[in-house]
Amino acid sequence: MIIEHPLLGPRDAQEFTYLGDASMIDRPDWQADDAADLFYKWLYLRDNPAGEHRELWFHEQGDRSWLVVTRNTVTHEISKVELARDVARQAGRSR
């Protein structure tokens, strides 16, 4: 596999490690009234699409960036690669 790193260009998959669904970025608010329920759903309930899937990859043997890779789980085609930090900020995460 080849992942098109947003900063570094095409890089071999052997440089990366995989985490899973990019929804891991959306960590719930610990102070919410239903925090326990929110955390449970966030951690355990995942879609398993046959098709486009946004997932987290870590460029461990590279620049140590976490990436959000949009990959088709049927064809393995990668249609988009973003820096996870940017995705997190767009989702309103900050401090």
- Cα Rg of the chain (Å, integer): 14
String of contacts with another protein for each residue 46-85, x by CB under 8 A? ----------x-x-xxxxxxx--------xxxx----xxx
Residue 35 identity: A
Q: Which of 30, 47, 48, 51 binds another protein (CB under 8 A)?
A: 30
Picking from 4, 49, 1, the residue whose alpha carbon sits closest to that of residue 23 is 49
Tell me which residue has tokens 């890089």.
11
What are φ and ψ of residue 93, in 5° steps?
Answer: -80, 145
Query: Which residues form the interface with another protein (CB under 8 A)?
Result: 1-2, 7-8, 10-12, 14-15, 17, 19, 24-25, 27, 30-31, 35-36, 39-40, 43, 56, 58, 60-66, 75-78, 83-85, 87-89, 93-95
